[in-house]
Structure 1
């Protein structure tokens, strides 16, 4: 358990019986779990298990369409909100494709994130934690390397007043040395007590950062427990994660 998580503390975030569709495809089939404040949870499973769809349902994106279930964060119901309202109430989604805004510099991407209140980390604080972005503050964001774009996407989320950070495949397509750098940044965020959900195909890397793990299979929760138990359970990893 993270040092930031008090034993038997009430859940800070919870989702209950989430059911979501892409068209006629039933993707998220009754997913439920909760997270304590300051906890890092690895949301794992094979390709097509429903991980990204669950994140997008939590963030109240239009796809997939959430048809049933509840999402609560810091005692507030989010399930009837639009995505921008969920963001205003503390959801910070870093999507797999990063969505860096073309035509804007690194600093302008960060400034744009702070137009709407409430604001999160100051740009100066972000540069302290992301010194490579400080070096490239005047460079167009879409011209950064893949790893630098991932840093910018995470920094942009932190520029808002984030209560729950959702990281969708933060290591996707990155060289091992850059993966380690991104992992160090996530570890630093973890040490600041920010509640986080990580969806990642590199399950071992995610588990080493996480306090707990939830494993999905066919859109349903098949495991909810400690990350350490998954690391130590070869049969569980082989059956649901193919590692």
Structure 2
């Protein structure tokens, strides 16, 4: 897929970003466009730069962005801080989930709505996440791994959200919980929310996604539809070992 000539006119666009941890050059000139409501799988072996790309998009302090542009609905985010990117509509669900200790499920969700321009209200969240409704008074860190993942996603949806970044959402989860997370991501897509998913379970991620990008040593080596990648065993074997 050819990149748009004017990234500011795209729903979400990244142009030639370069990110570093100290002097370690991690993200090396990554560019991509993502359409509104699309699910994009960002794939590659461990150390390829996938998580660092998500963190750069979310404007986290690490890695440090030293070049390139990030645009969301015409707003330039490359010069902004993480809280500004969050307020603009980018929400990152990290691999470690970061559920706040000592707070109930509901308190975690209410806290997420403190920032201006919050998203789903509590009842709407509980409609999408009935397990969380059942455990609303339970301390968040005592939930199962799958339930904590649901809470982390729900917390992102409680904020103003246009672009959801999921980092290894299936890590350590049973297949039945993976299916539940997939159902939730599909329902998010129906609301017009765009998702970029980083996942080692490439087959599951591709089953969910419209398009796929493969990274290798900090660079993009493939961009295409999920079907094109699933139908290319040589490419899958070389970069994904599947």
Task: With the length of structure 2 as denominator, give the TM-score of the two structures.
Answer: 0.95
Residue in structure 2 matched with residue 68 of structure 1 by the alignment:
67
> What is the CA–CA distance in structure 2 between the aligned matches of 1:11 and 1:204, rounded to whole Å?
28
> What is the CA–CA distance in structure 2 between the aligned matches of 1:49 and 1:140, rounded to whole Å?
35
Report the Cα offset of residue 191 of structure 1: 2.2
> What is the CA–CA distance in structure 2 between the aligned matches of 1:99 and 1:216, rounded to whole Å?
26
8 Å contact from structure 2 (residues 112, 155) kept in 1: yes
Query: Which runs of 5 or more residues in structure 2 are unaligned?
Result: 1-8
> What is the CA–CA distance in structure 1 between the aligned matches of 2:36 and 2:26, rounded to whole Å?
28
Report the Cα offset of residue 179 of structure 1: 1.1
Deviations 1:14-61 (Å, cap 9, x if unpaired)? 001110111121110000001111111000000000000000000000
> How do 1:23-42 residues align onto structure 2 when only pairs under 5 Å count?
23-42=22-41
Report the Cα offset of residue 204 of structure 1: 0.7
Q: In structure 2, the residue corresponding to 1:33 is in which secondary structure?
A: strand
> What is the CA–CA distance in structure 2 between the aligned matches of 1:188 and 1:200, rounded to whole Å?
19
**Alignment of 1:126 onto 2:129:** no
> What is the CA–CA distance in structure 2 between the aligned matches of 1:15 and 1:128, rounded to whole Å?
34
Equivalent pairs, count: 234
> What is the CA–CA distance in structure 1 between the aligned matches of 2:35 and 2:10, rounded to whole Å?
5
> What is the CA–CA distance in structure 2 between the aligned matches of 1:195 and 1:180, rounded to whole Å?
19
> What is the CA–CA distance in structure 2 between the aligned matches of 1:86 and 1:149, rounded to whole Å?
24
Residue in structure 2 matched with residue 174 of structure 1 by the alignment:
173
> What do you get for the CA RMSD once the two structures are aligned?
0.8
**Alignment of 1:236 onto 2:235:** yes
Query: Which runs of 5 or more residues in structure 1 are unaligned?
Result: 1-9
> What is the CA–CA distance in structure 2 between the aligned matches of 1:142 and 1:25, rounded to whole Å?
33
Deviations 1:104-161 (Å, cap 9, x if unpaired)? 0000000000001111011110000000000000000000000000000000000011
**Alignment of 1:197 onto 2:178:** no
> What is the CA–CA distance in structure 1 between the aligned matches of 2:122 and 2:84, rounded to whole Å?
23
> What is the CA–CA distance in structure 2 between the aligned matches of 1:11 and 1:82, rounded to whole Å?
21
Residue in structure 2 matched with residue 14 of structure 1 by the alignment:
13
Residue in structure 1 matched with residue 138 of structure 2 by the alignment:
139
Runs of 4+ in 1 over 3 A off after TM superposition: none
